[in-house]
């Protein structure tokens, strides 16, 4: 299957198997197969991936701002293997639920340091 990455994937919403928003496709990762033919290995999501794609001063500022919220640097993007993509349309639909994905580092920091401090946040439904 052929796909135009910039037209059909980048900046599309990522939706899990239950229809919940996971994020956006901020970049992609390619690899070379055993036959030397490149293939789409993973979708990347998060400010680190977007900042690198944007590049320049603005991209560096995006990455540095996001890294203020994490302890592990450089901040790794959420990496979703392309094999987990069910279909590509107006959004990119995944075969799995959001809970099965790694928690993005900035989201984990926000949950721990901001949302977790809100009274009653531990009783909120997800």
Looking up tokens 């603005």, which residue turns up? 58
Rounded Cα distance between 114 and 55, Å, is 29
Residue 123 backbone phi and psi in degrees, to 5: -105, 0
Domain extents in the chain: 5-123
Rounded Cα distance between 45 and 52, Å, is 11
Question: In tens digits, what is the pLDDT along the chain, a chain of 126 residues?
Answer: 666 666 788 889 999 999 999 888 988 999 999 999 999 999 988 776 766 666 678 667 776 676 666 666 556 678 899 999 999 999 999 999 988 987 666 666 666 666 667 777 666 555
Rounded Cα distance between 114 and 126, Å, is 16
From first CA to last CA, the distance across the chain in angstroms is: 36
Whole-prediction pTM: 0.68
Architecture of the 5-123 domain = Roll (2.30)
């Amino acid at each position: 299957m052929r796909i135009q990455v910039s037209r059909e994937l980048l900046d599309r919403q990522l939706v899990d198997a239950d229809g919940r928003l996971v994020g956006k496709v901020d970049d992609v990762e390619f690899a070379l197969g055993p036959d030397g033919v490149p293939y789409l290995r993973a979708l990347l999501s998060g400010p680190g991936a977007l900042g690198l794609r944007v590049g320049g001063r603005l991209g560096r500022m995006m990455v540095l701002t996001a890294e203020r919220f994490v302890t592990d640097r450089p901040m790794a993007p959420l990496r979703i293997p392309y094999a987990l993509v069910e279909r590509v349309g107006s959004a990119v639909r995944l075969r799995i639920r959001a809970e099965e994905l790694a928690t993005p580092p900035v989201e984990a920091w926000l949950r721990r340091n901001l949302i977790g401090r809100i009274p009653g946040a531990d009783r909120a439904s997800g």
